[in-house]
Amino acid sequence: MAKKMIAVLLVCVVVVGALQVSSATESAKEAKYEAKFEAKYRLCYEKCEKECLEKGNGQSFCEVKCDEDCDEKEAADKLHIKVKN
């Protein structure tokens, strides 16, 4: 009876370990996916902010405008839809 209990315990440990590895793999994939969009957002924001400031607009206005514009583009990219510029 004790051998069966130990066997069941070992099987549970193996199953939990396998689930942890699977979960870690999914987290890594998700982080890589998000990093791609974060890089696109950063590039969009920096370009937009530079252009906005060159037009003579204020810093606060440009921050809000560029954040909204680039966030919209990022969401559209994730949903695979086109956004008018």
Better-scored residue on pLDDT, 26 or 9? 9
Q: How far is CA 22 from CA 4, 19, 28, in A?
A: 27, 5, 10
Q: How many CB atoms lie within 10 A of CB 33?
A: 11
> How much is the pTM?
0.59
Share of the chain above pLDDT 90, in %: 39
> Per-residue pLDDT for 44 more than 90?
yes
**Quick one: tokens of 1?**
């009876």
Instruction: Say what the pLDDT of residue 21 is.
Output: 61
pLDDT tens digits for range 18-39: 666 666 677 777 778 788 888 8
